[in-house]
Structures are given as structure tokens and as C-alpha cells.
């Protein structure tokens, strides 16, 4: 992570450019075909999560958004800037809150301890920033766990964080709100998906023109599939994934998509070239980082980039051919996610096969950004 504030829905931050060039050693991005991927060439709002910095405007109202998922605990603190916002602090940690949930129906003591420690850091950051308002939400693991209410009650009592368990529909709405700036204005329909830790959200939407002439997303349908990278890994394994097991995961995900396709008849719009696809998840951002051959994960290079389905297939096949150590050695995966990435690839393969749009936009943003935009528009 680099220091300095960054802007959502604004101009590209030149500090991002310098961070990218430093990561490649000599500032020359022409090697390995990466030059064409400079973030300023995307023409899209880009940002990264910065390290804490001294606020240039200490009296500006600041807002906080926390997303407690099945795999990650994430926080953003930001202040309004134009039609978007400027991030002033952030935190993200893999906590695996939903580990073992599919087998027991409850959060384990170890998972709750990891998560509580991460939430303590979030609470300290929120208190230090003296935020004007915040919204703190939990998703699939807490929707399913029998003991999550008791856990969140303890969090509120000891840390002062009132965390709300949101519905899958609200989760989908927030993902769309957070990713909306990346949608192409001239393509009338979109499939937006988020492959999470405990569930996979699929949203079918139409971009409708408003009074100002700009198109805004209107959700036509949404479905929450009851599996994500943590739950699939718990069931099928992740350290070693034989080809037959990988195919089983793809088949299960593809079968779960059939009713949604049957209801909304999305394929007819795909065949007419009227559909775009946007992926908001660690799976797609990881594949994008690997495709770009980044020496470490660089958000400014990934968020808003494009992946063709052919590129996705090449990277997924490469990862499937590696053992756990090989996947862990990739700087865009690491040891903590090496057993999860193939489960995400299997779900992504099923989505691409069901709706062969041909390419997708990569979004390193989602629920937290949607929350912040909601808070600032009140």
C-alpha cells in the first residue's frame, strides 16, 4: 500500500502512476506488454486503499463503511469530493469468518477470535477519524450462522460497532452502487457478479437514461447462490484440486445459474451484443493481476481493467496446473488465498460459459463503496 489520499469517481491520481512505476523497478512499463495497461489509459475512476495519512482538511466530514464477509473484513473511511469521495483510511484482512460453517452451521471460536481482532483495529480507526456517520454490515456467514447474533452483540458491547446483517438483495444493490461508475454507458444491459466467500451474487440490470441524459443502473433481477470460495473449498478441498473435482465445482455452479437464465432470458441479449459483464470479487482481481504479470498486487492497475474470456481461461488453466506451493508463490495470491483461488475460478468459468459475453470489466470495489455513496447522498 502506498501513502496518500486517493479519489473515487475523479481524476487518476499521479501517485498511483508513481507507485506502479516503482513496483516495476525502473519506472519503465514497456516490458511484458504492460504499458498499454497504464491506469490513466482506462479513462475510468481508479483508486487503491492507502495507508493512514494526515488529513489535509481535518474538519471535513468523514464517513466509514465496513463490510464483514465470509472471508474478509474490510473498512473504508472517506470524505466527499465532488460527485465521489476521497479515501483517507482503509483496512482489509482475511479472517475466514465462515470457515467450517457449512459443516457445523455455526461460527467457530477460532474464526470469531480472528474476526474480533480485525474488528478491534477497525473500531480504533473509526474512533480516531471521528466519522460523521457510518454503516457497518455483515453478509452471508452471518446470515447463515446460528451464533452470529451473539457474536455481533459481543462486538457491539466491547468495541462499540453496531454491525447490521443485510439481506442478499441489499448486498447486491450495494455492489451495483459501488461499481456503477465502471459500467459502459452505451451498452444497455449488464451482468454484475460478486464471487464472495460464502455466496455468489448475480445481478441482471438495465442502464436507463435519466433526465440528465446519463444512464443509471436499474436492477431487473438478482440471485444469491449459496456458495462462495470458502464454502466450496470447505466441501471440495483447495490445497490439491484434481481436474475431476474442478469440473464438479463448475458443473454445480453452472446448474445453479440455469433458473436465473430461464427467468430473465439473458442469453438473447448476449447474442444481440447488448450485454456487458462486470466482476467484483477477489477472484477476478486476482486473475487480472496475474494476467498483467504484476510483481505485486497493484489496485490502480487492476480496477477498471478488462479481461477477455480467453485470458481468463489461460490464467485459470495455469493455476489449476500448479500445486498449493506454486499458487502461494504468486505475489497476487499469497499463502492465505492459495487454497481458495481455484474455487473462485470454477464459479467464474461457470458464469462465463452461461453468458458468453466475451470479456468482463474488473472491479476492485463493491459493498463499501456503495455504502459510502449512500451515506454522502443523504
- Quick one: pLDDT at residue 58? 52
Q: Which of 106, 136, 168 marks a domain boundary?
A: 168
Total domains, the chain: 2
CA distance 223 to 210: 26
- Quick one: pLDDT at residue 213? 78
* Same structural domain, 110 and 214: no
* Same structural domain, 15 and 84: yes
CA distance 226 to 232: 10
Residues of the chain with pLDDT under 70: 1-59
- Quick one: pLDDT at residue 83? 81
**CATH number assigned to the domain comprising residue 22:** 3.30.420.40
* Same structural domain, 150 and 275: no
* Same structural domain, 57 and 204: no
CA distance 51 to 100: 32
Q: Which of 168, 196, 225 marks a domain boundary?
A: 168
- Quick one: pLDDT at residue 59? 58
CA distance 287 to 62: 33
Tell me: the pLDDT tens digits for 265-274?
A: 999 999 999 9
In a domain, 144, yes or no: yes
Instruction: Pull the grid cell for residue 133.
Output: 456517520
In a domain, 140, yes or no: yes
* Same structural domain, 187 and 312: yes
**CATH number assigned to the domain comprising residue 299:** 3.30.420.150
Q: In what order do the strands lie in the sheet with 163-165?
A: 6-8, 84-94, 72-81, 63-68, 133-138, 163-165
Q: What is the sign of the dihedral through the CA atoms of 84, 90, 94 and 95?
A: negative
CA distance 360 to 276: 7
Reduce the secondary structure of the chain to three states and give it as a string: CCCCCEEECCCCCHHHHHHHHHHCCCCCCCHHHCHHHCHHHCCCCCCCCCCCCCCCCCCCCCEEEEEECCCEEEEEEEEEECCEEEEEEEEEEECCCCCCHHHHCCCCHHHHHHHHHHHHHHHHHHHHHCCCEEEEEECHHHHHCCCHHHHHHHHHHHHCCCEEECCHHHHHHHHHHHHHHHCCCCCCEEEEEEECCCCEEEEEEEEEECCCCCEEEEEEEEEEECCCHHHHHHHHCCCCCCHHHHHHHHHHHHHHHHHHHHHHCHHHHHHCCCEEEEEECHHHHHHHHHHCCCCCCCHHHHCCCEEEHHHHHHHHHHHHCCCHHHHHCCCCCCHHHCCCHHHHHHHHHHHHHHCCCCEEEEECCCHHHHHHHHHHCC
In a domain, 373, yes or no: no
- Quick one: pLDDT at residue 126? 97
* Same structural domain, 164 and 186: no
- Quick one: pLDDT at residue 212? 79
CA distance 102 to 234: 8
- Quick one: pLDDT at residue 214? 81
Domain extent, residue 247, equals: 182-363
In a domain, 376, yes or no: no
* Same structural domain, 344 and 209: yes
Is this model's pTM higher than 0.85 or not? no
* Same structural domain, 309 and 230: yes
* Number of neighbours of residue 28 by Cβ within 10 angstroms: 10
* Same structural domain, 188 and 161: no
- Quick one: pLDDT at residue 11? 29
Tell me: the pLDDT tens digits for 9-68?
A: 332 333 343 344 344 443 333 223 333 333 333 333 444 444 444 545 555 799 999 999
CA distance 82 to 7: 10
* Same structural domain, 118 and 235: no
**Nearest Cα to 101, choosing from 209, 233, 212?**
233
Tell me: the pLDDT tens digits for 117-145?
A: 999 999 999 999 999 999 999 999 999 99
The Cα angle at residue 175 between residues 169 and 180, in degrees rounded to 5: 125
CA atoms within 13 A on the CB side of 330: 24
Amino acid at each position: 500500500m502506498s501513502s496518500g489520499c486517493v479519489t473515487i469517481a475523479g481524476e487518476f491520481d499521479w501517485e498511483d502512476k508513481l507507485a506502479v512505476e516503482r513496483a516495476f523497478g525502473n519506472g519503465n512499463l514497456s516490458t511484458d506488454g504492460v504499458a498499454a495497461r497504464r491506469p490513466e489509459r482506462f479513462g475510468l475512476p481508479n483508486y487503491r486503499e492507502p495507508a493512514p495519512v494526515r488529513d489535509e482538511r481535518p474538519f471535513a466530514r468523514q464517513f466509514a463503511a465496513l463490510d464483514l464477509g465470509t472471508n474478509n473484513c474490510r473498512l473504508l473511511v472517506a470524505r466527499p469530493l465532488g460527485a465521489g469521495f476521497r479515501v483517507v483510511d482503509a483496512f482489509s484482512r482475511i479472517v475466514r469468518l465462515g470457515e467450517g460453517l457449512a459443516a457445523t452451521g455455526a461460527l467457530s471460536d477460532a474464526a470469531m477470535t480472528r474476526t474480533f481482532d480485525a474488528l478491534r483495529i477497525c473500531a480504533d480507526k473509526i474512533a480516531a477519524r471521528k466519522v460523521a456517520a457510518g454503516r457497518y454490515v455483515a453478509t452471508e456467514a452471518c446470515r447463515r450462522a446460528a451464533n452470529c447474533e451473539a457474536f455481533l452483540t459481543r462486538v457491539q458491547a466491547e468495541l462499540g460497532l453496531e454491525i447490521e446483517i443485510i439481506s442478499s438483495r441489499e448486498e447486491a444493490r450495494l455492489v451495483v452502487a459501488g461499481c456503477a461508475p465502471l459500467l459502459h454507458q452505451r451498452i444497455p444491459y449488464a451482468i454484475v457478479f460478486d464471487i464472495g466467500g460464502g455466496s455468489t451474487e448475480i445481478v441482471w440490470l438495465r442502464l436507463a437514461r435519466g433526465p440528465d441524459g446519463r444512464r443509471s443502473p436499474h436492477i431487473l433481477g438478482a440471485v444469491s447462490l449459496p456458495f462462495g470460495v470458502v464454502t466450496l473449498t470447505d466441501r471440495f478441498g483447495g490445497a490439491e484440486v484434481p481436474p475431476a473435482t474442478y469440473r464438479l465445482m463448475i458443473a454445480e455452479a453452472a446448474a445453479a445459474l440455469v433458473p436465473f437464465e430461464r427467468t430473465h432470458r439473458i442469453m438473447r441479449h448476449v447474442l444481440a451484443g447488448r450485454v456487458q459483464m462486470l466482476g467484483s470479487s477477489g477472484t477476478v482481481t486476482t486473475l487480472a493481476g496475474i494476467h498483467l504479470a504484476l510483481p505485486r498486487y497493484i489496485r490502480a492497475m487492476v480496477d477498471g481493467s478488462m479481461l477477455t474470456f480467453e485470458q481468463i481461461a489461460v490464467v485459470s488453466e495455469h493455476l489449476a496446473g500448479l500445486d498449493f506451493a506454486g499458487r502461494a508463490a504468486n505475489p497476487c495470491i499469497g499463502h492465505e488465498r492459495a487454497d481458495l483461488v481455484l474455487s473462485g475460478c470454477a464459479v467464474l468459468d461457470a458464469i462465463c460459459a452461461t453468458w458468453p459475453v466475451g470479456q468482463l470489466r474488473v472491479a476492485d470495489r463493491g459493498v463499501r463503496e456503495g455504502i459510502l455513496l449512500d451515506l454522502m447522498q443523504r
